[in-house]
Amino acid sequence: MRDKNELFPIFLRTDRLQILVVGGGNVAEEKLHFLLKSSPCAQVKVVAIEVSEKIETYTQHFNLTIEKKAFEVSDLEGIDLVIAATNDIKINTFIWTNSKLNRKLVNVADTPSMCDFYLGGIVTKGDLKIAISTNGKSPTLAKRLRQILEKSLPEEINELADHLNKVRNIFGDNFKTKVKELNRLTENLIKN
């Protein structure tokens, strides 16, 4: 039997969560770039002894704070989600161990076995957001699929979502009727 992706995709309200990123180099920069691109209202604290200039600039445009110091277990207080993005496996393992002991969701960059979640490829067109996962096996494949979808999906897709939302409200509270009518209205999207 072939492996299958058993991850459950969810979309987090990052404006309601406290996110900790440990690390201030290239890997942390990449994680922050995609997090803040997709969720500009995310509440993020960065803990690192040294921080790149790019990460420093994020404090001007996003809800991001930086503490220039070594990671301490007390940094986990009040945190919901942890991203360990240092270039030291011992430190990342220490962060992972203490995050798990404190019942935090944690992602250790480039270490799928120490991840409760993955940061997959994300396509955003207005209100439409599509997440792509390769089960941690190939971020490059997720990136390429994201690029294909970004080029393929028309900008007008957001207008379609707006129109369908208006129509959805016309059908009233009967869930079965809503589903039937919305399926009828959108069936042409999958026809050649």
Strands 43-48 and 18-22: parallel
Same domain, 48 and 99: yes
Is there a contact between 100 and 79 (Cβ–Cβ < 8 Å)? no
CA distance linking residue 146 with residue 31, whole number of Å: 16
Same domain, 112 and 134: no
Same domain, 24 and 101: yes
Same domain, 110 and 164: no
Does an H or E element contain 122, and which? strand 121-125
Same domain, 108 and 163: no
Q: Decide if 141 is inside a domain.
A: yes
Residue 81, phi then psi, degrees to nearest 5 = -135, 135
CA distance linking residue 95 with residue 110, whole number of Å: 14
Summary count for the chain: helices (H), strands (E): 6, 7
Per-residue pLDDT of the chain in tens (192 residues, 90 and over written 9): 457 888 898 999 999 999 999 999 999 999 999 999 999 999 999 999 999 999 999 999 999 999 999 999 999 999 999 999 999 999 999 999 999 999 999 999 989 899 999 888 899 998 999 999 888 788 889 889 999 999 999 988 888 888 888 877 777 777 788 788 778 878 877 775
Q: Which domain holds residue 178?
A: 157-190
Same domain, 129 and 168: no
* CATH number of 129's domain: 3.30.160
Same domain, 29 and 115: yes
* Total number of domains constituting the chain: 3
Domain boundary (119, 144, 175) is at 119
Per-residue pLDDT, 1:
47
